Amino acid sequence: MIKGKTIKKAIFFLSAFLLSAALLFADDITISASVNKTSLPLNDSLIYSVTISGNISNFPEPQIKLSDFNVYGTGRSQSMSVINGKVSGSVVFNYTIVPKAIGKWTIAPASIKYKNQTYTTEPITVEVTAAQSVQRQTAPQSSNQNQQPQRAAQSQNGGKIFVESSINKKTVYENEKVVYRFSFYTNMDLASNPEYYPPDFGGFWNDGSQPKNRQTVIDGVRYNVSELETVLYPISTGDKNISPSRLRVAVRDFSMPDNVDKFIAQFFANAGQTQVKDLETKNLKIKVLPLPQEGRPNNFFGAVGEFKIKAFVDKTQVNTNDPVTLTVEVSGDANMKSVVKLDFAVENSLRKYDTIVSKATADSKVFSTILIPLTPGEKTIPQIELSFFNPKTKKYETVRTQTIKFIASGEPVQEEDVYKSGQSGAIGKDINYNKQISDIKTYAGNYIENKKFFIIFIPFILLLIGAFMFKNLTKKLQSISFKSKGAKFNQAWRFIERAEYEIEHGNIGGLYDLIYNALIEAVCAASGLKTQNLQNSQILDFLNSKEIPQSIVEKVKKVLDKLNLYKFAAVRADEKSLKEMLNGVKEIISELKQ
């Protein structure tokens, strides 16, 4: 057999591997809920936040129950962090909610289901007081709102919803940032989340949208406003048209016909009918001007906006032939997509590699360049310039980084030593050239995905099973028929020896079987009998037919009768009788052997 230690080690190794894998992939999720205030007047709103955190990447959306509140807006923010090498993330779902009535209300626990487990928050109690009187106010009209709201739906009880769209500038330059704002005003109950159909932004580069929620008062009426700001960059000049945005919204109308008694109407106050409304904004026109030719610098590559620039290196003291990364960060209220490249030169003692964009966001862009000092001494990276067109001043402007210095020490580097494939972080100047194809061998798909591949194991598994079966069968056969005559007599003597040992130690229990086996083994050896499972009479008949001397047959018969007697009758043999019987069997074996 295999050594026990080896098996234990193998099992330990496998268990440790499985355990560590299980721990590695174990999820740890927490969920909590909070509100930004626990007491508010009826006409105010609060933000209900549900935070889910854990080491998972796809956070499920929580199930919330806000039956005593109207939900006017939702938002979601997600973050990931690495603390002590462990990555964890969290997502916060914010719901802007407005109470329906005065009183103490409990926000039921929010819950999420993840991998068949349910996680819930604690309930939160909120006190709603009487509404504060609303002073007559006008809606905040910012100077950049160019369009009047288009009132699109009104219920009989005065609830209103409407949408409007606006752009922050009517006339812009090519590549200048334009913000398109879609606003949805409501003071009615929404039956479901509205469906937003954005306009056709043809002729503009769409840089994504950001949702916002706020409240406003127009003509003394408070509205919840959901806004979507889309950042656009015109990509061609001329008069542009932004088609209407559309919003499909399902609202509940609680109004009753005028002739219905107020007392009856209150019973149906919660049974509003759901109506689907399609709202649409107006067309917006925008004029896109070409960038002026006058005063255009030579190093202008199309950047439009207001930019800032800064640069730094990752180390100020290096060895020659070690890479230094120069990082240039361009930021500002501008079109970052219009910053396509940075053009700068360095001194000859520095090997400069291609500048790559290592990070790009809506308001910043980071360029990285690897420099390798070829000679020792102080190295200077000159000012890096970015020329751009500033739409505010309507002029071309230039921003510059500061001059950067670092010290290189060590031996001068031969040009051909600068780059070796696979060397510490240095990147080649170019890709390696094409390969000469001399073999058109087609690689198979993944074997592991092909069920037929596993057929190769079948013969070996069958071999193992066959070997097991053969081994067992041989063992069985060897025990009886296929043993040699001498082996059978030896086996008979071994039974006798064991029987003697048992008598000496007073163990009579299995003694009869040992004596019987010894006798039968010897009889089989002498007569060529092939099976042991025979009746006594059959054994004797067989011995008679094989010309075994009658005296031996008689002795065998006597032993078999005695064994039957002691084995099956309520007669118990003493030690002397047993020894006599054993001696009798020994005699029989000796005679049969002769």
Partner 1 sequence: MKKFLCFLSVSLIFVLYSFADDSAIFNQISNAESAFKNGDYNKTIEIYETLIQVEKINNPYFYYNLSNAYYRKGDIGFAVLNIEKAYKLSPRDKDIRNNRRYLLAMTGQTADDGLIESATALFSLNEITIIASASVILLILSLTAFLFFRRRFIKQALSLFIILSILFCSLAALKAFVVLKDRAVVLSASVLKSGPKKDNAVLFNIPSAKIVSVLSSVDDWSRISFKDNDIVIDGWIENNNIGKF
One DSSP character per residue, 295-339 reads T--TTEEEEEEEEEEEEEES-SEEETT--EEEEEEEEEEE-GGG-
CA 341 to chain centre: 36
Residue from 457, 504, 506, 533 binding partner 1 (CB under 8 A): 457
Q: Is 115 in the site for partner 1 (CB under 8 A)?
A: no
| Whether 408 contacts 319, CB under 8 Å | yes
| Whether 414 contacts 392, CB under 8 Å | no
Residue from 26, 444, 455, 570 binding partner 1 (CB under 8 A): 444
Total residues in contact with partner 1, by rule CB under 8 A? 68
Nearer to partner 1 by Cβ, of 212 and 359: the residue is 359
Residue from 70, 230, 321, 517 binding partner 1 (CB under 8 A): 230
Q: Least distance from C-beta 578 to partner 1, angstroms?
A: 38
- Look up residue 507 and give its two tokens: 């163990």
Q: Least distance from C-beta 341 to partner 1, angstroms?
A: 13
Residue from 142, 298, 348, 446 binding partner 1 (CB under 8 A): 446
> Comparing C-alpha atoms, which of 132, 166, 116 is closest to residue 146?
166
The amino acid sitting at 274 is T
One DSSP character per residue, 17-73 reads HHHHHHHHH---EEEEEEES-SEEETT--EEEEEEEEES-SSPPPPB---TTEEEEE
Q: Is 313 in the site for partner 1 (CB under 8 A)?
A: no
Task: Using alpha carbons only, give the angle 333, 339, 344 rounded to the nearest 5 degrees.
Answer: 125
Inter-residue long-range contacts of 436-444, CB under 8 Å, 24+ positions, other chains counted: none
Q: Is 23 in the site for partner 1 (CB under 8 A)?
A: no
| Phi, psi (deg, nearest 5) at residue 144 | -90, 10
Q: Least distance from C-beta 279 to partner 1, angstroms?
A: 15
Q: Is 144 in the site for partner 1 (CB under 8 A)?
A: no
Select the span of 96-104, 195-203, 215-223, 403-411 touching partner 1 (CB under 8 A): 195-203
Q: Where are the alpha helices (DSSP H) in 196-335?
A: 262-267
Nearer to partner 1 by Cβ, of 269 and 456: the residue is 456
Per-residue contact flags (x/-) with partner 1 for residues 467 to 506, judged by CB under 8 A: xx--x-----------------------------------
Residue with tokens 């709103």: 45
Q: Is 22 in the site for partner 1 (CB under 8 A)?
A: no
Q: Least distance from C-beta 306 to partner 1, angstroms?
A: 21
**104-119 exposure pattern, b = at least 16 Cβ within 10 A, e = fewer:** ebebbbbbbebeeeeb
**500-515 exposure pattern, b = at least 16 Cβ within 10 A, e = fewer:** bebbeeeeeeebbebb
User: Footprint of partner 1 on residues 412-431 (CB under 8 A)?
Assistant: 421-422, 427-428, 430-431
Per-residue contact flags (x/-) with partner 1 for residues 285 to 304, judged by CB under 8 A: --------------------
Residues 6 or more apart whose Cβ sits within 8 Å of residue 509: 502
Nearer to partner 1 by Cβ, of 9 and 546: the residue is 9
Select the span of 74-82, 105-113, 537-545, 576-584 touching partner 1 (CB under 8 A): 74-82
User: Footprint of partner 1 on residues 75-114 (CB under 8 A)?
Assistant: 78-82, 87, 89
Nearer to partner 1 by Cβ, of 422 and 509: the residue is 422
Select the span of 92-100, 191-199, 235-243, 506-514 touching partner 1 (CB under 8 A): 191-199
**Residue 80 CB-density burial (10 A; 0-12 exposed, 13-18 middle, 19+ buried):** exposed
Q: Is 452 in the site for partner 1 (CB under 8 A)?
A: no
Residue from 221, 250, 357, 503 binding partner 1 (CB under 8 A): 357
Which three-class secondary structure state does DSSP give residue 10? Answer: helix
User: Footprint of partner 1 on residues 528-557 (CB under 8 A)?
Assistant: none
| Whether 346 contacts 324, CB under 8 Å | no
Per-residue contact flags (x/-) with partner 1 for residues 560 to 579, judged by CB under 8 A: --------------------
Q: Is 137 in the site for partner 1 (CB under 8 A)?
A: no
Residue 375 gets which letter from DSSP?
Answer: S
Select the span of 106-114, 273-281, 350-358, 530-538 touching partner 1 (CB under 8 A): 350-358
Radius of gyration of the chain (CA): 47
Q: Is 2 in the site for partner 1 (CB under 8 A)?
A: yes
Residue from 4, 85, 208, 506 binding partner 1 (CB under 8 A): 208
* Positions that interact with partner 1 (CB under 8 A): 1-3, 6-7, 10, 13-14, 17, 57-58, 78-82, 87, 89, 195-198, 206-209, 228, 230, 354, 356-360, 368, 421-422, 427-428, 430-437, 439-449, 453, 456-457, 460-461, 463-464, 467-468, 471
